[in-house]
Structure 1
């Protein structure tokens, strides 16, 4: 019974999302709070770096969440809030960077690498198939004396023991 209760507790803990938003941060207007939460999920914690500020418990993430809520309370649109934070902290604050001249390599390097790798694999497969075909053709053009000699060499080849 204790094991079942422990397992249920672990599953319940893992199944519920962990949000770092504290009760004193939550806005009174549910629509504005929803906007703030959506924006917080798009912004990177500068301390944790692989978490959004919505998930991070770092003090800087809390400051950013409060800043987002201040800007929303002041009447800024989502784009204005994002632009303000990018101007202040740089593109790195965005979990999904924008496509511009500074980030084109970030966006296109992976598809380019996969394409180059795919082409290399395709060329290697063609080369291997061509070599196999040439070998088969070379073996099919043997004279009867050459075939007998090959069979004799195969039969007398010592067996290596492992």
Structure 2
């Protein structure tokens, strides 16, 4: 019964729409413009929370940015004009996904370069180990070691 209740609870949670911080008084009358505002809000970083979009954040600054986005859309700005306006005003940090430019080149390329170098290092390590193990044969057992091994084997056969 508990399992069934847990499954039902999980299904209900999955079926609920995502909760956003947008207040009813912020919503635009035109559904198309509101959809644009929501789309842009998901691309912009909350300066207070820093790891949330302004669409998800309940911080007062995020609300101000959401209202500013809606103002710019109401004024007739395109999506790129709204983004450019906010970048000029707040800097590149306002973007959750930074642009691929000269200033952000290191940010975009560092991860793939580090992963590639790690893969190459791993490949060389595996290659070196496999080569080292095949070229060096194990030394033969001494007569004392052979006698101990035979004794262990006979004890093992008796107990099994």
TM range (shorter): 0.7 to 0.9
Structure 2 unaligned residues grouped into runs of 5+: 153-160
- Offset at residue 7 of structure 1 (A): 8.1
* 1:108–1:157 Cα change, 3 Å: farther
Name the residue aligned to 2:19.
Answer: 18
Name the residue aligned to 1:78.
Answer: 79
Name the residue aligned to 1:108.
Answer: 109
* 1:135–1:11 Cα change, 3 Å: same
Distance in 2, Cα, partners of 1:11 & 1:58? 30
Normalising by structure 1, we get a TM-score of: 0.80
* 1:153–1:66 Cα change, 3 Å: farther
Name the residue aligned to 1:152.
Answer: 143
Structure 1 unaligned residues grouped into runs of 5+: none
Alignment of 1:1-162 (within 5 A): 12=12, 15-136=16-137, 139=138, 147=140, 150-155=141-146
Q: Deviations over 1:89-130 (max 9, x none)?
A: 111100100001111111111111110000000000110011
* 1:18–1:133 Cα change, 3 Å: same
Distance in 2, Cα, partners of 1:58 & 1:48? 8
Distance in 2, Cα, partners of 1:6 & 1:116? 45
Query: Which secondary structure does the structure 1 equivalent of 2:136 belong to?
Result: helix
* 1:131–1:5 Cα change, 3 Å: closer
The count of corresponding residues between Structure 1 and Structure 2 is 148
Normalising by structure 2, we get a TM-score of: 0.81
Q: Considering only aligned residues, what root-mean-square deviation do their CA atoms show, in Å?
A: 2.6
